[in-house]
Amino acid sequence: MSDRVQQYKLTVSNLSKSFKLHNRGGTRVHGFADIHLRLQCGELLALSGPSGAGKSSILKTIFRTYLADRGSVLFRRGDGSTVDLVSCKESQVLDLRKREIAFVTQFLKILPRISALDTVAHPLIEIGETEENAREQARNMLDRLGIRRELFELSPLTFSGGEQQRVNIARGIIAPKELILLDEPTASLDQKSSNVVLELLGDLKRRGIAMVAIFHDQKKIDLIADHAVTVTREEKQ
């Protein structure tokens, strides 16, 4: 493997995915084809394009929720070694998700009766923070994202969609992994909340975190992205 490839945190080459519809006689449906991405530590790469072009599927294939049809996803680990997320063992994928790669989806998925504060504090406790310190950092994060303090001890499943998304983002970035994949992190947010999220992503960039994020607003891409790739429906396999 060349030194040129090794310097990137993430190198995606020729990545393609289609879906087999078993309830339609095994018909194959195009997902995306021949995607190339390169990302260094401290950079954010924005994916944009029309609905249905495959942007979310690209993130899920990088995360290995979906198996690629072809191509490679080379990830440089914290110890300097490189692993291909397309071909590595499932046990290695699970370890990487636990330690080095995170996916922040659009939708909050938690157990009922878990408070917003505990939801956000949990990732810090998992990496060894005391409960007291974790909850204090969670309070600060939720404050910054404009969640009212009277809601902290309530389940975020009772919150509005925008509030749930802010809690989800807080949980996803409070103990940031080395690579974060974000699926439309500002989609349901008002302008003020969107600006705070962009500020938080800027903080992560300064800490050396690499990110791939889906955005639909060109102004947001111009503000936060180091690179941008437009995914189109016209790409065919």
Q: What is the pLDDT of residue 22?
A: 64
Which pairing describes strands 82-84 and 101-104: parallel, antiparallel, or unpaired?
A: unpaired
What is the structure's pLDDT at 65?
96
Give me the amino acid identity at 93: V
Residue 114: per-residue pLDDT? 93
- The residues with which 73 forms a beta bridge, in sequence order, are 12
Tally the C-alpha atoms within 13 A of residue 144's C-alpha that lie toward its C-beta: 19
Instruction: Please choose, from the candidates 192, 190, 182, 171, the residue with its C-alpha nearest in 3D space to the C-alpha of residue 215.
Output: 182
What is the predicted pLDDT for the residue at 234?
58
Low-confidence ranges of the chain (pLDDT < 70): 1-6, 22-26, 234-237
What are the Cα distances from residue 17, in Å, to 32, 55, 72, 142?
A: 5, 11, 12, 37
> What pLDDT is attached to residue 1?
47
Give the chain's domains with CATH numbers. 1-100+215-230 (3.40.50.300)
Compute the distance between CA of residue 137 and CA of residue 141 in angstroms, rounded to an integer.
6
The pTM for the full model equals 0.92
Residue of 1, 25, 22 lying closest to 11 (CA atoms): 1
CB of 54 within 8 A of CB of 229?
no
